[in-house]
Amino acid sequence: MFRIHAVQAHHGDCLLLEYGTDAAPRFLLVDGGPEDTFEPFLRSVLEERVVPNGGRLDRVMLSHVDNDHVIGLLDLFADLRANAGAPLVTIDGLWHNAFSQTVDPNNVIAPRIKQIVAAGAVASMGHAGVDLMGIGEGANLQREAGLLGIPINPDTTNPIIVDEDEMLVEFGNLALTVIGPTQDNLDRLQEEWEAWLDTHEDGLLAQDPQTLANSDRSVPNLSSICVIAEADGCTALLTGDARSDHILKGLDAMGWLEDGTVHFDLIKLPHHGSDRNATKTFFKKVTADRYLISADGKNGNPDLATLIWIVEAAQAREQEITIFLTNSTESTTKLEEEYPPDEYGYTLEYRPEEASHLTVELA
């Protein structure tokens, strides 16, 4: 048995993996979505699926520290601490690449970021400000895990990265293969953060309007933990907000590409279907029967271009596909108008209205 529950996380990500057997299911939570995810949606999914079946999460995995992935986990952990005598669930371990361990091991970048946050600049920075604040939220999650006695990265002595040795972790019938980030990704991100701060730091501290207006296109994102989840003969590629070129490098490094291509039963689209994180070529090389998108139209996600690339690539290989979506958006409506499903051989399946989640059955 293998199914993925995509929790309503608005513009963020929150996935509950269910595996094991119908008689004895097991669970792993990937990301927690932004604010207003835990109480109205994630809690009900945990109460419906996890609590009646032992109440245990094998792992919680934070793909990266953006607020639209981490806040719901902070809310969950706060709830567990507030109800320590009768916690909603128990958690056997947390996968979390702390900023200080991966991108800033020498503590050079964090003090500069804290200065920007202390100056109040982030309030005017849009998504860039959210990225900066997310670093602090990631540190808070690490502290909360410590207070709850939840082991951090118990399956490795290092951060969750790709190196010379394959990182393959098994939980019953579920196997997770890490394909990203690589150490090279993290080294490059450190250089990008330092370069970005060198360019914008003075303007941000001075509250320069022009600098602030351009910030959300300039701040570099953290590299996401990307994994291949396998259970009962089915595979799912979970990408966080990674870039498609990084995903391809990770797949190649772990030996998953055959003649430059690979096929999965499901791909969770990177960065909510943004066309800034993928290319038309990527969807020709990395294909699937099912595509999963968690987005609500914020920041234009999923981009129409991304949807078209998926549909055209599937039509070219003469394969019918299903695109699962947590929300209907302007771009999904345009896709159906401009690329009729019957003509192009695809189906759009949405989270039922008022439902807390959408379930994709894989095995």
Written in H, E and C, the secondary structure of 304-363 is HHHHHHHHHHHHHCCCCEEEEECCCCHHHHHHHHHCCHHHHCEEEEECCCCCCEEEEECC
101 or 336: which leads in pLDDT: 336
69-78, 161-170, 224-233: lowest mean pLDDT where?
A: 161-170
Cβ atoms 74, 137 nearer than 8 A: yes
Sheet holding 174-180, edge to edge: 168-171, 174-180, 226-231, 234-238, 262-268, 286-293, 321-325, 346-350
pLDDT at residue 216 greater than cutoff 50: no
Per-domain residue ranges for the chain? 3-361
Mean pLDDT of 231-254: 94
Confidence at residue 190, expressed as pLDDT on a 0 to 100 scale = 77
pLDDT by residue (tens digit) across 297-345?
999 999 999 999 999 999 999 999 999 999 999 999 999 999 999 999 9
Confidence at residue 211, expressed as pLDDT on a 0 to 100 scale = 39
Question: What does the alpha-carbon distance between residue 226 and residue 260 come to, in Å, rounded to a whole number?
Answer: 19
pLDDT by residue (tens digit) across 115-138?
665 555 444 444 444 455 456 677
Confidence at residue 129, expressed as pLDDT on a 0 to 100 scale = 43
- With residues binned 3-state (H G I as helix, E B as strand, rest as coil), the percentages for the chain, rounded to 5, are 40, 25, 35
Q: Is 282 exposed, middle or buried (0-12, 13-18, 19+ CB in 10 A)?
A: buried
132-136, 242-246, 250-254, 319-323: lowest mean pLDDT where?
A: 132-136
pLDDT band at 296 (very low <50, low <70, confident <90, very high): very high
Question: Which amino acid belongs to residue 264?
Answer: F
Mean pLDDT of the chain: 87
Q: Which residues sit opposite 235 in a β-bridge?
A: 230
Determine the topology of domain 3-361 in CATH: Metallo-beta-lactamase; Chain A (3.60.15)
Cβ atoms 4, 235 nearer than 8 A: no
Is 33 strand, coil or helix? Answer: coil
pLDDT by residue (tens digit) across 159-197?
888 876 678 999 999 999 999 888 777 777 777 777 777
Enter the pTM of the model. Answer: 0.88
Confidence at residue 110, expressed as pLDDT on a 0 to 100 scale = 63
pLDDT at residue 99 greater than cutoff 80: no
Confidence at residue 140, expressed as pLDDT on a 0 to 100 scale = 87
Q: What angle do the packed helices 127-148 and 110-118 form, to 10 degrees?
A: 110
Confidence at residue 256, expressed as pLDDT on a 0 to 100 scale = 95
Both structure tokens of 32: 């927690």
Is 233 strand, coil or helix? Answer: coil
